[in-house]
Amino acid sequence: MAKPEPTAAAGVAEYRGASALTDDLSFLLARANARSIAAGNAALSEHGLRARSYSVLALAASDSRPTQRELAEFLWLDPSQVVALVDDLESRGLVRREPDPNDRRAKVVQATKEGRVRFAAAQESARSAELDQHSRLTAAQREQLGVLLREIAFSG
């Protein structure tokens, strides 16, 4: 008789002792990222967004007036991915492209009024999902994690 398949939770618990991976910081970051993205996407779905489109909308709603190239660099995405994300948001009336006054060849991406409203609502959902995802951490640990991740994410 075949052995029954372990549940997902049992399977994860079984591999926690595999120190070759559980001590590997890159693996841990990738796994934590995957879990965080899944939770974020679930929370953002009610707003018609996913993590990447939310990130573009967040930057477009800021006062920084990013170009598509700057979006690609900051989000660590291929420029063609950013074009597709901006195209989608623009087709839904959430952002618009405007000429960059500093470079006629470039376009800045700005949130529309509707985009700013959508972003504000989505931001609440994203923050709630983040707090839920990191509920095992104290406020001080969450702050420390943020400091460490910013150091890794934005180091030269």
pLDDT in tens, 33-83: 999 999 999 999 999 999 999 999 999 999 999 999 999 999 999 999 999
> pTM here?
0.85
Residue 65 gets the label, from left (phi > 0), alpha (psi -120 to 50) or beta, of: left
Amino acid at 17: G
d(CA 98, CA 140): 41
d(CA 111, CA 88): 13
CB 66 within 8 A of CB 74: yes
Torsion of CA 47, 53, 58, 63, to 10 degrees: -130
